Structure 1
Amino acid sequence: MTFSHLFSWTTALLLFISTTAVFGQASKAILKQHIYYLASDEMRGRETGSAEVEQAAQYIQEAFKKYGLQPKGTEGYRQDFTAKITRVPVNDSLRNAANIIGFLDNGAAKTIVIGAHYDHLGHGKIGGSRDTLHIGEIHNGADDNASGVAGLLELARHYSQNEVQEPFNMLFIAFGAEELGLLGSKHFTNNPTIPLNQIHWMLNMDMIGRYQTDNGLAIIGHGTSPAFVEIFDGVTSNIKFYTSKDGNGGSDQTSFYKKNIPVLFFHTGGHPDYHMASDDPDKIDYKALQSIVDLEIKVIDRSMSVAEMPFQWTN
């Protein structure tokens, strides 16, 4: 899947901003536009340190700005850090990376964090590729994790434009360098731009684009707070989903879990295109992705009725 080189991130932004969407539910069209842009061949797999991953960062930052989110990085929306490639030997193992952070300030004492990583494997030369026959080819990362970033941006759009002042603030974070070892989320939780004790809970999206009817959507971390039992009571969806207790492992929610913060990790599971050059936008189930984001809105809204979210250690 390729776009014209003239299709810049500003053009992409104008397209999805002008798309009509009903507030209260996610827009399949906008989700699709995000993914086709972020996972296009022109983005060259969004490798940490590349010009293309910086282009993705700018795209996310401009969306946050358009939605009126306050900058909450260390320099505007950015929280820059240095990432190191350790899986394979490369001449430039130290790379510039950044988290992109936007804040929806509702004047509340507590904040819900919503996150997804925006980096991927580039051409598969930095380690992590399962596609040994196609090292050197672009790994577009449509599911991993353009799908999660699309969800992040849709949730930012919804909560910034729904004309409701929720009883919690929201911090939207696009993490850098996840594929190098959760480096962006580790950097944030070690250098938070809001006090960690003000975080109500954290929602992470990583690979939410390849829904499989037989398996359903996994919601991992249900056991990290007893409040999730109440929050999920009576929640329904037009897709199959199940909850799993442990919040540790697999993606950026782990960094928050290790700081004793309740987490939920939304994930549609592995598939043959995982970390392969074939993880392309045309393989995403956009209808199911829309349903997943709508389900997340239900869960977030329900969580706002719970005053306390005591952490519960689960192994």
Structure 2
Amino acid sequence: MKNISLLLTFCCLLGIQIAQAQQIEVSNLKKHIYYLADDKMQGRGTGSKEVFKAADYIEKEFKKYKLEPKGEKGYRQSFKAKVWKVKVADSIRNADNIIGFIDNGADLTVVIGAHYDHLGTGRQGSSKDSLGVGKIHNGADDNASGTAGLLELARYFSSNNEKEPYNLLFIAFGAEELGLVGSKYFTEHPTLPLEKITAMLNMDMIGRYNPSNGLAVIGYGTSSQWPAIFKDVQAPIKFNLSKDGNGGSDQTSFYKKNIPVLFFHTGGHPDYHMPTDDADKIDYNALKSILDLEKTVVENIMKQSSKMDFIWTN
């Protein structure tokens, strides 16, 4: 009887773990964003010790999920980034992309990306605060929200007990705020052949959902297959499909390499590039809904029988 009881307890616990793997968890999103957007992280400016601490955090999570390292040295792909918006003494800075891979032995791969850097203390430029130099720009929405989404999707797909028909490549990009430097570097020095990538999905500022505007899903026109992929997709949030593949974030680097893209974005707000972009202002339930939507889109991409075609939208 005791052995049966232990077996039932084990099965129950296993069932709980499987159930948790099969859904996006708000608690995980909060954990990631509150860590990355804490004052101790000093705004994660490119080249700072804090942004390298953020990179360590992302790498640790990738290891926890047993993602295969797919950088040039372990999970890391290192490069140089130049601060070009303002004159500073340390204008050339070290940066990293953090890259993890779910290898399902497939011919094609879906890339999921988000950038993890922000403006630091305003000295690298781009602050919307006229007196912002020296103030911590926490970047909870921009882009701790996207990074949290990246980590939670990596956790989900690595622990859902399914061998997907496509591989999945998760990239946390560095130096996006300095001109999409990390994603440009990856597409010029890919650690996986670009011709094997069927689509790239990017998350940047997905934490401040406004019901009156909805979620923008940009890039719908970059492949003739997007309409079929989105057919019958439903979500508790409003989302708007936009054709253009260009935009002010990392999907643009892939679009310029003839790869179909989607860019998930909840739009601007008064705290954009301000010291007031803090973790307590994120709509975590809406963020979960956005990631559930993206998860469904990824799963629908993987139902395609061939590589997605590419269309220039401008």
CA distance in 2, matches of 1:125, 1:56: 19
Task: Give 1 or 2 for the bigger CA radius of gyration.
Answer: 2
Partner AA of 1:269 in structure 2: G
**1:117 partnered with 2:79:** no
Aligned counterparts, 1:112-151, within 5 A: 112-151=110-149
Aligned residue number for residue 177 of structure 1:
175
* Aligned-CA RMSD value: 1.1
Choose the corresponding residue for 2:214, options 213, 216, 219.
216
2:20 alignment partner, SS class? coil
Alignment match, 1:59:
57
State which of 231, 235, 239 in structure 1 corresponds to 2:229. 231
Q: Which runs of 4+ in 1 moved over 6 A?
A: none
Letter in 2 for 1:191: H
Contact 1:248 1:254 in 2 (8 A): yes
Counterparts of 1:240 and 1:219, CA distance in 2: 10
Deviation at 1:25, TM superposition (A): 1.9
Deviations 1:124-165 (A, max 9, x none): 111110011232110000000000000000000000000000
Distance (Å, rounded) in 1 between the aligned partners of 2:235 and 2:201:
18
Aligned to 2:313: 314
Contact 1:111 1:199 in 2 (8 A): yes
SS across alignment from 1:213: coil
After superposition, residues 4-15 of structure 1 pair within 5 angstroms as: none
In the alignment, the residues of structure 1 paired with residue 205 and residue 247 of structure 2 have an alpha-carbon distance, to the nearest angstrom, of: 14
Map of 1:240 onto structure 2: 238
What SS does structure 1 have at the residue aligned with 2:62? helix
SS at 1:287 equivalent: helix
Q: CA deviation at 1:21?
A: 6.8
Task: Quote the offset at 1:22 in angstroms.
Answer: 2.0
SS class of match (1:222) = coil
| AA at the equivalent of 1:184 | G
Give, as a single letter, the amino acid of the residue that structure 1 aligns with 2:210: Q
TM superposition shift of 1:20: 9.8
The count of corresponding residues between Structure 1 and Structure 2 is 297
| CA offset digits 1:252-279 (Å, max 9, x no partner) | 0000000000000000000000000000
Please tell me whether the aligned partners of residues 104 and 167 of structure 2 are also in contact (alpha carbons under 8 angstroms): yes
Task: Give the corresponding residue for 1:32.
Answer: 30
Q: Is it true that 1:205 corresponds to 2:203 in the alignment?
A: yes
**Is the 8 Å Cα contact of residues 21 and 27 (structure 1) preserved in structure 2?**
no
Query: Under a length normalisation based on structure 1, what TM-score does the superposition of the two structures give?
Result: 0.93
Q: 1-side partners of 2:119 and 2:178: how far apart?
A: 9
State the alpha-carbon separation in 2 of the partners of residues 117 and 132 from structure 1: 25
Deviation at 1:305, TM superposition (A): 1.0
Matched residue SS, 2:169: strand
Q: TM-score, normalised by structure 2?
A: 0.93
Residue 200 of structure 1 aligns with an amino acid whose one-letter code is T
Q: What corresponds to 1:277 in structure 2? A: 275
Unaligned residue ranges in structure 1 (runs of 5+): 1-18
Shift of 1:249: 1.8
Task: Identify which of 259, 267, 281 aligns with 2:257.
Answer: 259
Gaps of 5+ in 2: 1-16
Change (3 A) 1:130 1:198: same
Which amino acid in 1 is paired with 2:260?
A: P
Question: 2:131, 2:189 → 1: CA distance?
Answer: 39
d(CA) in 2 for partners of 1:308 and 1:122?
39
Question: Which of 64, 71, 74 matches 1:73?
Answer: 71
> Hey, what does 2:84 align to over in structure 1?
86
1:293 aligns with 291
Could you tell me which residue of structure 2 aligns to residue 195 of structure 1?
A: 193
Structure 2 contact 75–99 (Cα < 8 Å) conserved: yes
User: Following the alignment from structure 1 to structure 2, what is the Cα–Cα distance between the partners of residues 240 and 60?
Assistant: 30
